[in-house]
Amino acid sequence: MFHIAPRQDTVTAQQRQRYRSLATSTLGHFTDFGAITSLAPLQRPMRLLGPALTVRIPHLDGSIIREALKMACPGDVLVIDVSGDQRRACWGEFRAYAALRKQLAGIVTNGAITDWDALSQLNLPTYARSTSPLTTRALELEGEINTPVAIDGVTVNPGDLVVGDDDGLFVIPPHRADALAEAAEAKQAREAEKRNALEAEFPEWFR
């Protein structure tokens, strides 16, 4: 049985804009909450930003992902919780083409992916735990869309802002977005001043 809840558009366009230039490592100076450190980016350089469309699959059955792709809107980040099954790949080449067609911002899964060679060449930011030749099946047993999921011990609610770069991922709930952005913006401004001063003193370091 599928459970599909309505979309949650809780992050404002202004909040999203503030995070476009913020590094996850800067956020990591101010909070541990929301940091996802166990998933690796499939491509580098990497930049991912968008609201979470959450999906939970029951181990073997990945059929609910098809419904999530139908429901997804441009700019969404598909966040897939595989319920602990890290042996099977829930994501591969042709699902990625469907995501590109829907203009998704990226994919995050605590499971495995397959078709690494094809996925690594696509302009679709993807974070996963591993690769696997085993895949999920389309059994249509059960699954959930837009319910809370857990990735690396981090609760991801539908509509939370997902921020990713080469260093990792952060999940930012709307009620923390402005305060964290303000602190991170100030820190990056200070770092830019220090960097400019060092470049003026030691230009050979920055060639």
Q: For 189-207, how does the pLDDT look when each residue is reduced to its tens digit (9 = 90+)?
A: 999 999 999 999 999 999 8
We report the CATH number of the domain holding residue 107 as 3.50.30.40
Contact by Cβ (8 Å): 142, 61: yes
Binding residues for Mg(2+) are 115
Cα–Cα dist 76/1, whole Å: 24
Dihedral (Cα; 89, 37, 8, 80), 10-degree rounding: 10
173 pLDDT band, cuts 50/70/90, is very high
Q: What is the average pLDDT across 53-75?
A: 96
Contact by Cβ (8 Å): 63, 143: yes
Q: For 101-148, how does the pLDDT look when each residue is reduced to its tens digit (9 = 90+)?
A: 999 999 999 999 999 999 999 999 999 999 999 999 999 999 999 999
Domain ranges, residue 39: 2-206
Q: What is the average pLDDT across 153-157?
A: 96
Task: Give the chain's domain count.
Answer: 1
Structure tokens at 37: 């450190």
Binding residues are 115
Cα–Cα dist 138/82, whole Å: 14
Provide the pairing of β-strand 154-156 with 40-41. Answer: unpaired
